[in-house]
């Protein structure tokens, strides 16, 4: 990735570098950090997420350590990207161990290195809470998605409940510092801002965890 370690880096580049380094630090702990909630809730949600992907050319963004691998549809041609080399390294080991057929690439979702209209479906889980410029990342997804293709995301978003929303805003700096995730993003609005058409939003839990299904206008 040419964006990294450039002394003349833009403020956006510096913000991206900060988040990338944070995920490199978190990587060794990532799988145990979420172990309990992974088994009790996330595994069901991941199953649902991947059941919504269509077509054979699929992109997973922010693959992390590869927690979605067991849910990949059989016979799909899947490319998965992440900008953290430490997260990717763990995904690579997991893919080898679990014999998962996936092309793993280090890439920033805000600047995807794919031609326009490359994928039938684009999938991500818990990614746009940490992408420094989420609308820019979502616009890139819109660009590389085929017309009529699907974008399916699981994200945690700012609660519409005023008290809970206030608490989430208050706790956000601590969440960013410890886990690299903003807990107060309006990701459904951000998906709309990217030009994608939001078709369904399913509340998975507490009005905070959402399954977002969108399409690229044909």
**Site residues (vs ligand SAM, CB under 6 A):** 16, 19, 23, 62-64, 67, 81-84, 87, 108-110, 125-127, 130-131, 137, 181
With respect to ligand SAM, which residue has the nearer C-beta, 193 or 197?
Answer: 193
The answer to whether the Cα torsion of 211, 88, 174, 34 is positive or negative is positive
Cβ of residue 163: shortest distance to ligand SAM, in angstroms? 25
121 close to 153: Cβ distance less than 8 angstroms: no
With respect to ligand SAM, which residue has the nearer C-beta, 51 or 161?
Answer: 51
120 close to 146: Cβ distance less than 8 angstroms: yes
Question: How many Å apart are CA 43 and CA 48, to the nearest integer?
Answer: 9
Cβ of residue 26: shortest distance to ligand SAM, in angstroms? 8
Strand order in the sheet with 197-205: 103-106, 77-82, 57-61, 119-125, 145-156, 209-215, 197-205
Cβ of residue 67: shortest distance to ligand SAM, in angstroms? 4
With respect to ligand SAM, which residue has the nearer C-beta, 19 or 59?
Answer: 19
With respect to ligand SAM, which residue has the nearer C-beta, 4 or 197?
Answer: 4
Question: How many Å apart are CA 33 and CA 38, to the nearest integer?
Answer: 9
Cβ of residue 86: shortest distance to ligand SAM, in angstroms? 8
With respect to ligand SAM, which residue has the nearer C-beta, 23 or 120?
Answer: 23
Cβ of residue 13: shortest distance to ligand SAM, in angstroms? 11
The region, left, alpha or beta by phi > 0 then psi within -120 to 50, assigned to residue 99 is left
């Amino acid at each position: 990735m040419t964006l990294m370690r450039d002394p003349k880096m833009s403020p956006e580049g510096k913000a991206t570098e900060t988040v990338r380094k944070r995920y490199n630090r978190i990587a060794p702990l990532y799988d145990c950090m979420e172990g309990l909630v992974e088994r009790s809730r996330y595994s069901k949600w991941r199953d649902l997420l991947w059941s919504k992907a269509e077509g054979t050319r699929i992109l997973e963004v922010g693959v992390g350590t590869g927690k979605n691998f067991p849910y990949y549809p059989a016979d799909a041609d899947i490319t998965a990207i992440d900008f953290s080399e430490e997260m990717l390294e763990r995904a690579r080991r997991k893919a080898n161990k679990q014999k998962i057929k996936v092309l793993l690439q280090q890439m920033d979702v805000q600047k995807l290195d794919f031609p326009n209209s490359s994928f039938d479906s684009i999938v991500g889980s818990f990614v746009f809470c940490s992408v420094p410029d989420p609308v820019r990342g979502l616009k890139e997804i819109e660009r590389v998605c085929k017309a009529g293709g699907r974008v399916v995301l699981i994200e945690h978003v700012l609660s519409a409940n005023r008290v809970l929303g206030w608490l989430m805003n208050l706790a956000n700096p601590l969440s960013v510092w410890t886990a690299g995730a903003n807990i107060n993003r309006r990701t459904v609005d951000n998906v709309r801002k990217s030009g994608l058409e939001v078709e369904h939003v399913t509340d998975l839990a507490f009005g905070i965890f959402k399954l977002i299904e969108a399409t690229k206008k044909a």
